[in-house]
Structure 1
Amino acid sequence: MNMKEQIHTLSEEMIANLGRLVAIDSQLGTPKEGKPFGAGPAKALEEGLKIAEELGFKTVNLDHYCGYAEMGEGEEIVGIAGHLDIVPVGGDWTYDPFKLTREGDHVYGRGTTDDKGPVLEALYAMKLLRDSGVKLNKRVRLIMGCNEETGSKCMEHYNEVAEELSCGFTPDANFPCIHGEKGHMSMTAYSKNTKIISMNGGFVSNAVCDTCTTVIPTEAGLKEKLEASLAETKLQQYRVTEENGQITIFAKGVPAHASMPELGVNAAGVTFECMEKAGFEDDFVKFYNEHIGTSCDGAGVGLKFEDKYGVLTLCNGIVKTEDGIISCTIDIRVPVTLKAADVRTMCEARLEDENGRIEIGEIGDPLFFPRESPLVNALYKAYVDVTGDTEHEPMVIGGGTYAKSLKNIIAFGPEKMGMDYHIHSADEFILVSEMEEAVLIYMEAIKNLLAI
């Protein structure tokens, strides 16, 4: 039996174990003693470590911040870092997000691709390597984190209490290989004066605002003008109702990850745009359309920029109204050649006028490994040797991974280019055939990393 056949015989077992993890709602919860990210992430970590123990690995729980499964001996550590926490469910699911559902090659559930499935792919790659008798001149450690989606404080704790990795990867992005990650910048826009009664939409800051409900005062003929304007958009659904002197606008756009907002349709942005086109004159409508808009390129705040590794992107994730003030979260992915000081200089003159203001929050540095580095070459070779794909080259992405939190690792798979796995949106899925292939790729990757 060759290795592909061995992996295939383990496929049902791997999917069953994935079901155990998907069944746990592991989004960020209320911190409790001994459970820094709440009960859900702690339970998912315990289950993940239990699966590893069942497969014969030594496991360590690092105070429920994270834990790891390990094999081999030696001073150096080949590290693999994945996460078991998830983003909120959100959206209109066809399937129960917390019950693994298989239809042919597709397996649906929250976390299947981001990132519970890839954690298991790496774990089974370790198991098969160990069982094949490959000499392990280094330790191989699979780290399971609990806070990647909301700050990666799990890896801060790992760095405080555990050993540094010699090299490795995080299975939380794309194949063939990621040698750079854009910097991350957060902003929040606030209204100063507005006639908008309320506006609320979106569920996370790092995904395109896919639904939005807006209430504004009635004006003669406004309902009809709004409907005409909304009919010309790319919204999936819209509805305009008028009652008791108020107009309510419901807009349903298209969700997308904040690193690729151009793939989505921002329901809030389209609503702002249509209100202006319909003749609704409002200070904050004007501010939003001038500074944020629907273009995703940051031009409105002076941040339109592109280098040879990619473009700057802007995503409005959440819109909410509190005490009469509308706020909008802004998630920006900054090209790797820009520094924090550069970004501030570029946008500082475009952050406030009489109609609204924007506050800068966190600015995170980018990550970049040269294409010719041994780490990049080792992982890329594993991908090419298994798939035969030489068309796709190592790349820079807008997403942020554990590679920014742990030394000497980069993101490596498992998503294929051109496929939308619906991560951070409804009906997230993973393909069984791709899971099996990823196990083989990760086996080759570990062997290559043991050799450098």
Structure 2
Amino acid sequence: MNLKEQIEEYLQKNKFEIVSRTCDLVKIPSINVEDHSGKPYGIECAKAIDFCDQLCKEKHLVTKNYDYRCLEVMCRENQTGKRLIIATHADVVPTVDDNIYDPFAGKVYGDYIVGRGVVDDKGPLIASLYALAFFKEYGIPLKNDIRLVFGSNEECGMDDLLYYLERAGQPDWGLAVDDDFPTVNGEKGLVHFSISAPKAEHVESVNSYGSKQRLVHDYCESTINGENMVIGRTEKVTNPVLHRFTGEERLFKNDQDEKYIREILADIDGHCLGINHSDEMSGKTSVKVFKAESDAQNITLTFDIRTPVTLNIDDVVEKLIAYGKKTGLEVKIVKVSKGYYQKPENEIVSMLTELYNKEFNANEKPYVMGACTYARLFDNGCGFGGGNPHEVKPFPKGHGAAHGADEAHNIYVLFDAIKMLILGIKAIDDKWS
């Protein structure tokens, strides 16, 4: 049999097991929490790592647990050659209120596995595991150092993979399996910053609440002139903080502070901050408020900025600081994460894109996205799968996608992802050899 015939035989032989193991992983509610379990991201994230470890050992793969932050997986010990890391994660964002199906039941409905995290990123994790296990089962030697890494904190800062890379070193190339095929050749830069100003005397408090994994809080509660108001708890509001601060009511003590902050809230492209920019490959700068906090004197708003790949993120930080000095507002930089960009002509990006297009008779192009994945932590890398970019899921609006209600992964798209990862691993291994 040739390679493709072996892949088809492998998928046919293991299809029920692949679906079953994906469902089993979904049943583990691996939401990152702070607790006293001794595990860095909580007991459930540790259970997910243990589940993956056991499944890998059943497949005769070699594993190494990096203190329950990451699990490393290889075909054999003491691998040599150039190193490829394929990174996925087992942690998930918290559930939402409008699920139709039990988010941690891990059940199949029609052609879909439904449950929290199956799209992001448990389905792709299982796909990468079975892709590497294919080479072990069929005795196909890999000449280079091919490794999987399963993380536990991708949704809350990615310090899990940073911890791993500090100990294992940077690979020659990294793949993040966390989006749609064919290839993600770039991600926008990210800056979180906060602005604080004295609150008006009639404002007692304004605070928003939500999980640390989401970049828009679920509801915003305020007490003004003794009257309590909650936005977003009973009614669905896209951004409760923005809704609260763009009403007619004055919230800040100083008229000039109120003016400046309202300008920022209304300026989604960052013009007033001096950071508006656009490029052909990644689009415009975006600015979004997502959190409100207050104390006895001040209100603090925290913003999320996504920057085009051609905009220097250090310049963005400098301009934000300069804006604070110019306006008198207290500006603090909370988080900075540099994006990345690989030219579409890059030899691995182009090879993987052509591989996908040939397999599916498509004409897809590499693309840049605003979301953040492990790919940005590699000195050299990109995203590769595992979703279908044109899939239309048979669920109500707002259901079926990553981070939303009723995440759902098509079983046949999952099988396609396994096939593409096998072909991708083999192509990179052959190229390096």
Using the size of structure 2 for normalisation, the TM-score is 0.85
Structure-2 separation of matches of 1:23 and 1:323: 43
Q: Does residue 358 of the first structure (1) align with residue 365 of the second (2)? A: no
Are the counterparts in 2 of residues 208 and 254 from structure 1 also a CA contact under 8 Å? no
| Aligned pair partner of 1:298 in 256, 270, 284 | 270
Are the counterparts in 2 of residues 287 and 355 from structure 1 also a CA contact under 8 Å? no
Q: 1:227 is matched with which residue?
A: none
Deviates more, 1:108-117 or 1:245-254: 245-254
How far apart are 1:89 and its partner, in Å?
Answer: 2.5
Structure-1 separation of matches of 2:375 and 2:94: 23
Q: Which runs of 5+ in 2 are unaligned?
A: 392-397
Are the counterparts in 1 of residues 65 and 72 from structure 2 also a CA contact under 8 Å? yes
SS in 2 for 1:380: helix
Q: 1:157 is matched with which residue?
A: 163
Question: CA deviation digits over 1:288-316, x for unaligned, max 9?
Answer: 432123x6323343322111222212232
Q: Does residue 393 of the first structure (1) align with residue 372 of the second (2)? A: no
Structure-1 separation of matches of 2:182 and 2:294: 42
Q: 1:214 is matched with which residue?
A: 221
Q: 1:216 to 1:363 in 2, by over 3 A?
A: same
Q: 1:163 to 1:352 in 2, by over 3 A?
A: closer
Structure-2 separation of matches of 1:3 and 1:44: 27
How far apart are 1:50 and its partner, in Å?
Answer: 0.9
Question: CA deviation digits over 1:410-434, x for unaligned, max 9?
Answer: 2111233366853233322222121
Displacement over 4 Å in runs of 4+: 31-34, 252-255, 284-287, 352-356, 418-421
Structure-2 separation of matches of 1:254 and 1:345: 39
How far apart are 1:368 and its partner, in Å?
Answer: 1.9
Are the counterparts in 1 of residues 245 and 251 from structure 2 also a CA contact under 8 Å? no
Q: How does 1:166-177 map to 2 (within 5 A)?
A: 166-177=172-183
Are the counterparts in 2 of residues 155 and 402 from structure 1 also a CA contact under 8 Å? yes
How far apart are 1:199 and its partner, in Å?
Answer: 3.3
Q: 1:281 is matched with which residue?
A: 250
Q: Which runs of 5+ in 1 are unaligned?
A: 219-244, 256-263
Question: CA deviation digits over 1:351-390, x for unaligned, max 9?
Answer: 3787954322232222122221222123212321222221
Q: How does 1:52-201 map to 2 (within 5 A)?
A: 52-71=56-75, 73-194=79-200, 195-201=202-208
Structure-2 separation of matches of 1:342 and 1:334: 11
Q: Does residue 412 of the first structure (1) align with residue 391 of the second (2)? A: no
Deviates more, 1:437-446 or 1:156-165: 156-165
Structure-1 separation of matches of 2:54 and 2:238: 41
Structure-1 separation of matches of 2:302 and 2:105: 31
> What code does the residue aligned with 1:438 have?
A
Q: 1:254 to 1:403 in 2, by over 3 A?
A: farther
Q: 1:253 to 1:387 in 2, by over 3 A?
A: farther
SS in 1 for 2:118: coil
Q: How does 1:9-28 map to 2 (within 5 A)?
A: 9-28=13-32
Are the counterparts in 1 of residues 23 and 113 from structure 2 also a CA contact under 8 Å? no
Are the counterparts in 1 of residues 210 and 219 from structure 2 also a CA contact under 8 Å? no
Q: 1:249 to 1:31 in 2, by over 3 A?
A: closer
Structure-2 separation of matches of 1:309 and 1:254: 37
Total equivalences in the alignment: 412
Question: CA deviation digits over 1:98-125, x for unaligned, max 9?
Answer: 2213221232222111111111011111
Structure-2 separation of matches of 1:346 and 1:354: 12
Q: 2:395 is matched with which residue?
A: none
Are the counterparts in 2 of residues 204 and 318 from structure 1 also a CA contact under 8 Å? no
Q: Does residue 203 of the first structure (1) align with residue 210 of the second (2)? A: yes
Q: 1:228 is matched with which residue?
A: none
| Aligned pair partner of 2:229 in 224, 228, 248 | 248
Structure-1 separation of matches of 2:107 and 2:261: 41
Using the size of structure 1 for normalisation, the TM-score is 0.81
